[in-house]
Structure 1
């Protein structure tokens, strides 16, 4: 009897728990509610950004029981600072890791791909400013050899530098002389090219007219028959009021009868013309 009582009074072995004085009564942090760049689920160093001091802090026992997963006690200042201050709002705060590592890695890869797409590696160079053409270069396509020669002669008469002999010339005189020589050398070929182009344009226009005539000839018979039928229907409509069956209808006045007869005569002439 004494042995049984002794057995009942013996204390059972209890599960040993870690007793820690550091307690944090704030709500636990859920990793799924944080931005992807504010936590790191790499097994080498699982950590996150403390919401209180914005410092990267390791997570204690990330693979343990949910109640034991907490933020490591940390300081709000940088490492090596004299008399650091402990972060009371974030130290020992519970953490709930409810994000899969593969999903986290996928979000990081998608964000990196999107960021790389926004950054362009192409170098945009400034466009080179084109040199403005000279007045002679602008007028060259608009003038022929005779007009350029007249301009050169007028310049030679009014310029004190340009000699009539052509040995001494100013800048404008030299350009005009060069332009005269260029026009005289290229004018025949340019005129020949213009002549050929005008002939081709005329032949093209003639071909279009010929094609139009052929298309009209292919449909002329059907159009003529339609016109004749239209005039015939108009004649029938005009003759109906004059038929004997319409004796009870109101009689036409002399002016109305004359108008009807002139219209009938015109339609008859039109039918005769279309029937030829």
Structure 2
């Protein structure tokens, strides 16, 4: 393999991350033209094709056995590399380059936006709103009343009701009352949750009488708990017992 006629490139002038001079491994270098890794053979970059060049479509072959066109030979092939570094020196230069690149990184910490805090469960209404099933039953009851009034000759006049129409109206009234009751309970629960808490003094004023009554009962000694006469006396001063 003959060199490409260019001047040799010293390894000390190349970027340390573009070389691989580890002991026990095949020496590698980055081609200065196509910037791809290749093996060093006799201190020269192995011949290779230009990876950045796209192959030309030649169409049909001119004759049997003709080879299709491929990528052109990279001009950096057989480039001489003068290894003027030891593996230790190359390793130190690689570490220095890594530390320099790490020092260029910004030390600014980008804080993520805080996530929205969901509403606590204690602030949610404990009583749910009317369910979809209950609302559907109410709509069906109302529709049944309207259909019956349009078809029944007695109920159509509005002056009287047949037994069937009266029963349908009663059912519709019951479902309306159920929906209104659930609505009122739900709104009352929402108002109770939204109402501000009573002040501390007002809360204490509500239970002050009961607390005083309890304190008086605790301070009064119950009858019948006093020791009876003739029972064992309890020493009031320290007593030394000798064997």
TM-score by length of 1: 0.34
Structure with higher Rg: it is: 1
Structure with the higher fraction of residues in helix conformation? 1
Using CA pairs under 8 Å that are at least 6 residues apart, name the structure with larger relative contact order, 1 or 2.
2
